Structure 1
Amino acid sequence: MIPGQKISNSERKSFIEAIDNLFLKLELSYHYQFYKVFGTDHRLKEAKKLWAESLKKYPAECINAAVETVIQANDYLPTLTEVLKACSGSMGAINIPTPQEAFIEAQKSSSPRQSFPWTHPIIYWAGREIGWELINSKNNNAFQAFSKTYMRLVKEMKAGKEFTVTPKEQLDALEPLDLDLLEKLRKKYNL
C-alpha cells in the first residue's frame, strides 16, 4: 500500500479476517508447536502484527490459499518466510501471475506495448504506471516499485475494477478522422 493511501473498510475487514483465519488454522493444525511459539497473549498479538505487516501486500484470497498450501506441505509449524513464499505462489490460484513473473513479462514486452499479448492486463497497467524506462533500466528499485504498483492493482481488481488493454490497431480503427470537422476548423482559423 502506498503511504497515505486509504483502503476500504471491507478490504481491511477481509484482510484482518484472513490474518485471524491464518492463526486459527495454524493453531488447530499445529496445536502443541503453536502454543510453544505463541504461548502468551502478548506474543500472539505481536506475531499477528508482524505477520500482518509482512503480508499486507497480498489480497485476502491469496493469504487464505497460502494457509491451505503450507498446512498441507508442512509437518511442523511454518515460518513467516514459508507463508510469504506460499502467498507469492498462490497468486496463480486467483489466475494472475506472481509479481516476479509479471515483472519479467513486462521487461520482455516490446513496443507497441498495447499490442503485446499480455497474460493479464494488470501487467500492462502496472508497467505503464511506473514507466517502461524504469522497468528496463538497471535500477535496483525497479522490481520493488513494479511489485507495489502491481499488488495495488491486484487489490483494485479484487474490489471490482476491470482492466483491459485495447491493441493500438483497434484504437486507430475506432477513431476515424472527421473530415467535415477538419474542414470547418480550417475555415474557422484560416488554415
Structure 2
Amino acid sequence: MQKINPLLDQASNDLKKSSSNSPTEVGQSSSAITSAADRVAEPDQDYVNNRELDHVDAVNQIFAEFEFAYHNQFHKAFAEVEALAIAKKYWLSNLERYSPRQIVAAAKHVIQSQDYLPSIAAFIRACEAGTDLFGLPSVRQAYVEACSAPSPKREFNWSHEAVYYAGRAAGWYFLANEREAAAFPVFEYHYEQLCRRVISGEELTIEAPEALSDKVERKLDKKEVKAKLAKLKKDLNL
C-alpha cells in the first residue's frame, strides 16, 4: 500500500504542470492525459522483470489490460490522472487478500467474458472463483474424486495434481474408511493449502511409478531351492 501513496502526489503535480503549461481544451484528444496516466503507478520494466509480481504490479498490469481491452470506456471512466491513481489505490486496498497471480488471472477471465469495464464488485467475484482460473476443481468435487479414485493412485488420471496430494496427505485408508463428517474436513484443509500454493505459482507434479525391471524373475522349483539352501549353508559354514 505504501508504494502507491506517492503516486497521488505525483499525479497532482503532473496535473498542475499540464494545466499551467499546456492546457487541454474541451473536446481535445486525451493523449496528454493518457501519457501522464502512463507515468502514474507504472513501475520501471527492468524492475518488474527482475522480481516476482507483487500486488502493486498486479494492479498496474490489470489496469493496463483494461485500457487496451475497454479503450473508450476506460478513458471515459478515468479521464483525469488523479481519478486513475485514486482508482488504483482503491482497487489495491480491496484486492490485497488475493495473490497477485490470482488477480492477473481474474482480469484475463473478465476480459474474455465481459463486454464492459468491470466494477470492483464484479472483479472480486472473478477472484473468488480463483480455483476455476487455475484448473482446480471445487473442494467437494476434489473430495469425491479422491475417495473414488482406484489404485494405484499415482497412475489415476487426476483432474489436478492437487487432488492427489490432498488425498495422500489426508490418507487413502482414512478417506476410504472414515465417515464423510470426519474425513471431509481433513481433506478440505490439505486441499485448500495446496490450492493456495498452486495459485501462488507452484507447479505440482506426481512422481512417476518405478519402472519395471528388465530382468524377468521366475519362481524357483523345489530342486533349485534345495540347491540354493545347500550353497548358502556351505558359504556360512553351517
| TM-score, with structure 1 as normaliser | 0.54
Residue 51 (str. 1) matches residue 95 (str. 2): yes
Residue 40 of structure 1, CA deviation: 7.3
Q: Which residue of 2 aligns with 1:70?
A: 110
Residue 140 of structure 1, CA deviation: 4.7
Pairing partner for 1:150 from 195, 207, 210: 195
Alpha-carbon distance change, 64 to 113 in structure 1, aligned in 2, over 3 angstroms? same
Q: Which residue of 1 aligns with 2:150?
A: 110
Residue 116 of structure 1, CA deviation: 2.8
d(CA) in 2 for partners of 1:23, 1:151: 24
Residue 21 of structure 1, CA deviation: 0.9
Alpha-carbon distance change, 47 to 89 in structure 1, aligned in 2, over 3 angstroms? same
| TM-score, with structure 2 as normaliser | 0.46
Alpha-carbon distance change, 128 to 68 in structure 1, aligned in 2, over 3 angstroms? same
In structure 2, list runs of 5 or more residues that go unmatched: 1-47, 218-231
Residue 23 of structure 1, CA deviation: 3.1
Give the SS at the match of 1:128: helix
For residues 49-85 of structure 1, the C-alpha deviation after alignment (integer angstroms, 9 at most, x for no partner) is 32131x22xx72x543431331232224242333225
Count of residue correspondences: 155
| Corresponding letter in the other structure for 2:202 | E
Alpha-carbon distance change, 88 to 111 in structure 1, aligned in 2, over 3 angstroms? same
Residue 129 of structure 1, CA deviation: 2.7
d(CA) in 1 for partners of 2:168, 2:159: 15
In structure 1, list runs of 5 or more residues that go unmatched: 1-8, 178-182
Bigger Rg, structure 1 or 2: 2
Residue 91 (str. 1) matches residue 130 (str. 2): no
| Corresponding letter in the other structure for 2:127 | L
Deviates more, 1:9-18 or 1:101-110: 9-18
- Name the % identity: 22
d(CA) in 2 for partners of 1:149, 1:40: 36
